[in-house]
């Protein structure tokens, strides 16, 4: 698939100025300019400290929430925390429950079962909570859209504090307090906190109000960091402070469950990739398979035997999730190829016995493969339930708004949605959605690779690549730097892993470098030794048998002009 390479324009005078002022190499200075990090924020970006946290009381309703929770602590009231079943939700419950219990009260939790109850608050759960005589319910990572459910809780005498980070509708729930930086009256500087980030601000505010030492809430930054990175919020502003400081704490975490997960993930270095690809999938697998409580128990446990058993279970759930994901993916690809759905503007496909918990991951993979919006639906009695993923330039949520008459319910945002339709409406829905996608000229949308700089092989050194680590943690809003290398000669080329990946050595004058391309094995049939190519990729240090070698991780290739 053709991709557009877009290189940032550089201002040499600005680069020189920044480089001298902050003692940075020019490549690092140029990347900071590309990221639009303003000069006065560079010190905070590179070396954040706990002084860089914003005042938690700037958040909407924070004063009210803190006052009510302190009253509950003083009166030893029964509190229940209601959270989501993903990593953000699990870490949010862990942090709030642990912090409040250290203040001397018992705190219970309710996590809806993904497969039976779905996301967010529901009335049967509220009935159960009221039946057990809880005085106060605090929602984490959910609640902002639960207008009807919180009205219902109010009617039963259950008081609620909402803490959430999702977008706010036209009205907000009639809770005691609604703490969400996306509220229209928000004064808080960082509106993109994860759910666990909002919880961190809540315990920080309670800590300040109670006159506690900073360490009483800062010690949870390891868990807050895990939830923040896993929820793919932009790692800028306060999220970057949380992630950067939190990763330092993760490296020496006292949380037995997190330490056990880190060891079982097999990652040598602890960075944002370790969290995103080693820790998060194992926790999310619990929720996807309907066992979110197991992940929470792991984070809360102080028993090494129980921790080891739970870690084993999480690994088993993750393996089962991978197995089901693979089966659904293979089944979906067969249907797509057989019915030539890849020739359409959007891919909509249904299947029997597809697991709800993993269908969104498969949709994401199909969208990546074909660079088209996709919606996967699982048939269940007379309904079809599923998930969709989109591409940049096509608003999936907006598209669904235009065919609401064929949909039972849906929710989400521009890039990802959850949806339920009647089985007998499948064809009509597919037809309408395809028309909308065709009108949007999906086929004309070309994926763009944003490139930080053009560099020569002779300019690369281990010191330069090491310096890029100052930009970590990488993630949404702060991607790993991407570079273009032009007119390189292929010195060697071969496919790896039965043709799945590609390995090359590339030469520019007297400089030779290794290059690896994951899932780019097909390139072995397109290029031969001696060809001149341009490459887009990231720079890394590959350590093997105690020897460090510089390496390009290939993202795209084209023949040199």
Structure tokens at 415: 């890039």
Q: 356-368, pLDDT tens digit by residue?
A: 788 989 999 999 9
**CATH code, residues 54-313:** 3.90.1640.30
> At 145, is the pLDDT very low, low, confident or very high (cuts 50, 70, 90)?
confident
Cα–Cα distance between 292 and 307 in angstroms, integer?
Answer: 15
> At 1, is the pLDDT very low, low, confident or very high (cuts 50, 70, 90)?
low
Cα–Cα distance between 80 and 255 in angstroms, integer?
Answer: 22
Q: 415-471, pLDDT tens digit by residue?
A: 888 889 999 999 999 999 999 999 999 988 888 999 999 999 999 999 999 999 999
Cα–Cα distance between 236 and 322 in angstroms, integer?
Answer: 31
Cα–Cα distance between 271 and 267 in angstroms, integer?
Answer: 9
Structure tokens at 460: 């690369």
CB 396 within 8 A of CB 389: yes
DSSP code of residue 458: G
Q: For residue 162, how many other CB atoms are within 10 A of its CB? A: 28
Q: Taking all residues of the chain, what is their mean pLDDT, rounded to a whole number?
A: 93
pLDDT at 411: 76
CB 357 within 8 A of CB 317: no
Q: 204-215, pLDDT tens digit by residue?
A: 999 999 999 999
The average pLDDT across 143-163 equals 95
The residue ranges of DSSP E strands in 88-247, in sequence order, are: 107-110, 136-140, 159-163, 177-179
Cα–Cα distance between 53 and 73 in angstroms, integer?
Answer: 25
Cα–Cα distance between 263 and 390 in angstroms, integer?
Answer: 34
pLDDT at 546: 77
CB 3 within 8 A of CB 368: no
The residue ranges of DSSP E strands in 118-193, in sequence order, are: 136-140, 159-163, 177-179
Structure tokens at 196: 């666990």
Q: Is 127 exposed, middle or buried (0-12, 13-18, 19+ CB in 10 A)?
A: middle
CB 73 within 8 A of CB 103: yes
pLDDT at 203: 98
pLDDT at 113: 81
Cα–Cα distance between 482 and 480 in angstroms, integer?
Answer: 6
The residue ranges of DSSP E strands in 115-248, in sequence order, are: 136-140, 159-163, 177-179
Q: 66-83, pLDDT tens digit by residue?
A: 999 999 999 999 999 999
Structure tokens at 294: 């197991």
Cα angle vertex 322, ends 318, 327, to 5°? 150
Structure tokens at 1: 């698939």
Q: 19-74, pLDDT tens digit by residue?
A: 999 999 999 999 999 888 888 889 899 999 999 999 999 999 999 999 999 999 99
In DSSP terms, which residues pair with 530 in a beta bridge? none
The average pLDDT across 173-184 equals 95
pLDDT at 364: 93
pLDDT at 53: 97
| Per-state percent for the chain, helix, strand, coil, to nearest 5 | 45, 20, 30
> At 166, is the pLDDT very low, low, confident or very high (cuts 50, 70, 90)?
confident
Q: 269-303, pLDDT tens digit by residue?
A: 899 999 999 999 999 999 888 889 999 999 999 99
SS3 172: coil
> At 410, is the pLDDT very low, low, confident or very high (cuts 50, 70, 90)?
confident
Q: Which class is domain 449-559?
A: mainly beta
- CATH number assigned to the domain with residue range 339-444, chosen from the 4 options 3.10.310.30, 1.20.1200.10, 3.40.50.180, 3.40.630.30: 3.10.310.30
DSSP code of residue 475: B
pLDDT at 512: 93
Cα–Cα distance between 91 and 418 in angstroms, integer?
Answer: 23
Determine the angle formed by the axes of helices 12-22 and 26-34, rounding to 10 degrees: 110
Domain ranges of the chain: 54-313, 339-444, 449-559
CB 139 within 8 A of CB 83: yes
pLDDT at 402: 93
CB 423 within 8 A of CB 384: yes
DSSP for 54-107, written as a single string: PPGGGSTTHHHHHHHHHHHHHTT--EEEEE-SSHHHHHHHHHHHHHHHTTT--E
pLDDT at 247: 97
Cα–Cα distance between 358 and 326 in angstroms, integer?
Answer: 10
Q: Above 80 in pLDDT, residue 119?
A: no
Same fold, 54-313 and 449-559: no
pLDDT at 418: 84
Cα-atom radius of gyration of the chain, to the nearest Å? Answer: 25
CB 140 within 8 A of CB 123: no
Q: What's the N-to-C CA distance of the chain in angstroms?
A: 18
Q: Is 330 exposed, middle or buried (0-12, 13-18, 19+ CB in 10 A)?
A: exposed
Structure tokens at 370: 């074909």
Q: Which of 115-119, 134-138, 162-166, 459-463 has the lowest mean pLDDT?
A: 115-119
Determine the angle formed by the axes of helices 280-288 and 304-338, rounding to 10 degrees: 70
């Amino acid at each position: 698939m053709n991709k557009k390479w877009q290189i940032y324009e550089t201002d040499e005078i600005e680069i020189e100025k920044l480089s001298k002022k902050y003692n940075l190499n020019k490549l690092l200075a140029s990347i900071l300019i590309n990221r639009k990090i303003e000069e006065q924020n560079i010190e905070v970006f590179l070396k954040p400290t706990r002084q860089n946290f914003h005042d938690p009381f700037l958040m909407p309703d924070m004063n009210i929430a803190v006052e009510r929770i302190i009253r509950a602590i003083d009166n030893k009231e029964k509190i229940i925390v209601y959270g989501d079943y993903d990593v953000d939700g699990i870490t949010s419950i862990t942090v709030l429950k642990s912090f409040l219990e250290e203040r001397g009260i018992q705190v219970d939790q309710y996590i809806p079962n993904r497969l039976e109850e779905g996301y967010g608050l529901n009335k049967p759960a509220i009935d159960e909570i009221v039946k057990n005589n809880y005085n106060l319910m605090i929602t984490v990572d959910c609640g902002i859209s639960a207008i009807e459910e919180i009205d219902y809780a109010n009617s039963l005498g259950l008081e609620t504090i909402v803490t959430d980070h999702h977008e706010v509708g036209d009205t907000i729930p009639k809770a005691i307090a609604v703490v969400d930086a996306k509220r229209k009256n928000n004064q808080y500087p960082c509106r993109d906190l994860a759910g666990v980030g909002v919880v961190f601000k809540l315990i920080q505010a309670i800590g300040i109000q109670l006159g506690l030492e900073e360490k009483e809430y800062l010690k949870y930054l390891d868990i807050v960091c895990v939830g923040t990175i896993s929820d793919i919020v932009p790692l800028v502003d306060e999220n970057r402070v949380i992630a950067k400081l939190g990763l330092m704490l993760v490296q020496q975490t006292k949380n037995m469950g997190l330490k056990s997960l880190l060891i079982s993930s097999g990652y040598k270095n602890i960075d944002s990739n370790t969290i995103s690809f080693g820790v998060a999938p194992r926790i999310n697998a619990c929720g996807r398979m309907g066992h979110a409580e197991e992940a929470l128990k792991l984070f809360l446990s102080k028993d090494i035997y129980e921790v080891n058993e739970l870690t084993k279970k999480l690994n088993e759930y993750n393996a089962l999730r991978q197995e089901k994901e693979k089966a659904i993916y293979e089944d979906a690809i067969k249907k797509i190829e057989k019915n030539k759905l890849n020739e359409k503007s959007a891919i909509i496909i249904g299947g029997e016995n597809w697991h709800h918990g993993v269908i969104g991951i498969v949709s994401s993979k199909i969208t990546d493969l074909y660079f088209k919006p996709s919606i996967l639906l699982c048939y269940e009695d007379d309904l079809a339930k599923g998930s969709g993923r989109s591409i940049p330039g096509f608003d999936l949520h907006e598209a669904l708004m235009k065919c609401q008459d064929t949909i039972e319910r849906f929710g989400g945002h521009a890039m990802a949605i959850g949806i339920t339709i009647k089985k007998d409406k499948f064809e009509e829905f597919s037809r309408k959605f395809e028309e909308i996608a065709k009108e949007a000229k999906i086929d004309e949308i070309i994926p763009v690779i944003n490139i930080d700089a053009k560099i020569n092989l002779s300019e690369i050194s281990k010191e330069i690549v090491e310096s890029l680590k100052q930009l970590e943690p990488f993630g949404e809003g702060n991607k790993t730097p991407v570079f273009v290398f032009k007119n390189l000669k292929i010195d060697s080329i071969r496919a790896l892993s039965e043709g799945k990946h590609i390995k090359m050595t590339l030469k520019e004058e007297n400089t030779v470098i290794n290059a690896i391309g994951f899932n780019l094995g097909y390139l072995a049939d397109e290029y031969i030794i001696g060809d001149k190519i341009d490459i887009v990729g990231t720079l890394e240090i590959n350590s093997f048998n105690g020897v460090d070698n510089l390496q390009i991780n290939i993202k795209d290739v084209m023949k040199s002009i």
